[in-house]
């Protein structure tokens, strides 16, 4: 049974970059955990409650979505679950087992992607990004969020790995027919700057998933690319969350104190170093050793 009806792209993209210029990227589960923890720390903590422009969504909802994304381990998929005839044919069995292994990776990443998307949507609702901008084509809350980043995050430098992930996503989508329309979103628009380009692209991928328009390949030497498309999209979503939080909370001048062991000091009584929330959010996806806390001031 063939599930994939388009010609495969022949290009082999470069491997996903997890280390760059001496900086190492955290795993997605760790990033989601740390984002949830920093929201818990500030919402109802030393500074009181975080601002919320919505009467429908609470910061606790964002925390729950991020914790769900953090909690995902592995999803097991078996296409031979009820196909007892496959046991009688070694070739069919091997094909279905390979298909199950490949799809398990895609499914695991899809599950985490959807949870991170839920956190992103909740944050956009809390921020209540204005929907009326001077550009007719910018209607909709995701387009408004892109414009929100363009006007309030920029001209800050985007977090490390954002550009590399954007390039890596383009390499994996290019030449695959079902993503022809998605590829066209890698561009600047009146309401999309560089900081919002990732969100503008990924909303198209998310729509393909949500509406059943994304097709997955049979096991072959490039099947892993679809798993990487979802993984990179999830990283970009997490970085977009970081930038949205920076944009929304920038006027609050929040400060984070750290203990000697690198943990956050929630009492502000024994802090050995301090950093602004903005700097911390821009680097929360990076591994920072406790002896290198001063590096945070470089971001």
Q: What is the pLDDT along the chain (299 residues), one digit of tens a residue?
A: 233 334 445 567 778 878 877 889 999 999 999 999 899 888 866 666 788 888 889 999 999 999 999 999 988 776 666 666 655 655 655 666 566 666 777 888 999 999 999 999 999 999 987 655 555 455 688 988 999 999 999 999 999 999 999 999 999 999 888 999 999 999 999 889 999 999 999 999 999 998 888 877 666 656 678 889 999 999 999 999 999 999 998 867 777 777 776 677 766 666 667 788 888 899 999 987 654 555 555 45
Q: The whole model's pTM is what?
A: 0.86
Q: What is the DSSP letter of 224?
A: H
- Structural tokens at position 188: 């600047």
Backbone angles phi, psi at 195, to 5 degrees: -65, -25
| CB-CB contact of 142 with 203 (8 Å) | yes
**Hey, which residues does 23 pair with through a beta bridge?**
20
> Residue 69 and residue 207: Cα distance in Å, rounded?
19
Place of tokens 């679950």: 81
Could you tell me the residue ranges of all domains in the chain?
Answer: 25-298
For residue 274, the model assigns a pLDDT of: 77
Measure the N-to-C terminal CA separation of the chain; round to a whole number of Å: 50
Q: In the prediction, which pLDDT does 5 show?
A: 33
Sign of CA dihedral 175, 178, 179, 182: positive
pLDDT for res 218: 67
For the chain, where are the alpha helices, taking DSSP H only? 28-42, 59-71, 90-127, 141-152, 162-173, 180-183, 194-210, 224-249, 277-282
Calpha distance 229→124 (Å, rounded): 23
Cα separation, 24 vs 19, whole angstroms: 4
Of 122, 64, 51, the closest CA to residue 277 belongs to 51
CA angle 239-286-203, nearest 5°?
Answer: 15
Measured CA to CA, the distance from residue 13 to residue 187 in angstroms comes to 20
- In angstroms, the CA 273 to CA 258 distance is 5
Cβ(30)–Cβ(72) below 8 Å: no
pLDDT for residue 220: 64
Eight-class DSSP state of 48: B
Q: What is the pLDDT at residue 268? A: 63
Residue matched to tokens 């969100």:
199
């Amino acid at each position: 049974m063939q599930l994939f009806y388009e010609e495969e792209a022949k290009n082999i993209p470069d491997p996903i970059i997890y280390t760059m210029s001496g900086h190492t990227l955290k795993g997605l589960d760790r990033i989601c955990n740390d984002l949830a923890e920093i929201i818990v720390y500030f919402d109802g903590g030393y500074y009181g409650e975080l601002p919320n422009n919505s009467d429908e969504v609470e910061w606790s909802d964002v925390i729950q979505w991020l914790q769900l994304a953090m909690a995902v381990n592995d999803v097991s998929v078996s296409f031979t679950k009820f196909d007892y005839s496959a046991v009688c044919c070694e070739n069919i069995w091997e094909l279905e087992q390979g298909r199950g292994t490949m799809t398990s990776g895609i499914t695991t990443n899809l599950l985490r992607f959807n949870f991170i998307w839920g956190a992103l949507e909740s944050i956009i609702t809390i921020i209540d990004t204005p929907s009326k901008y001077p550009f007719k084509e910018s209607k909709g809350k995701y387009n408004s969020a892109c414009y929100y980043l363009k006007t309030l995050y920029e001209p800050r430098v985007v977090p490390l790995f954002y550009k590399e992930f954007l390039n890596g996503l383009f390499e994996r989508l290019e030449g695959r027919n079902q993503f022809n329309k998605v590829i066209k979103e890698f561009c600047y628009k009146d309401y999309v700057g560089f900081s919002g380009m990732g969100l503008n692209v990924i909303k198209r991928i998310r729509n393909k998933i949500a509406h059943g328009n994304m097709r997955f390949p049979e096991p072959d030497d490039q099947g892993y690319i679809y798993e990487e498309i979802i993984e990179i999209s999830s990283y970009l979503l997490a970085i977009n969350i970081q930038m949205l939080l920076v944009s929304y909370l920038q006027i609050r001048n929040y400060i984070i104190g750290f203990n000697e062991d690198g943990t956050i000091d929630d009492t502000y009584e024994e802090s050995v170093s301090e950093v602004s929330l903005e700097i911390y959010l821009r680097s929360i996806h990076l591994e920072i050793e406790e002896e290198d806390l001063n590096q945070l001031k470089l971001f």
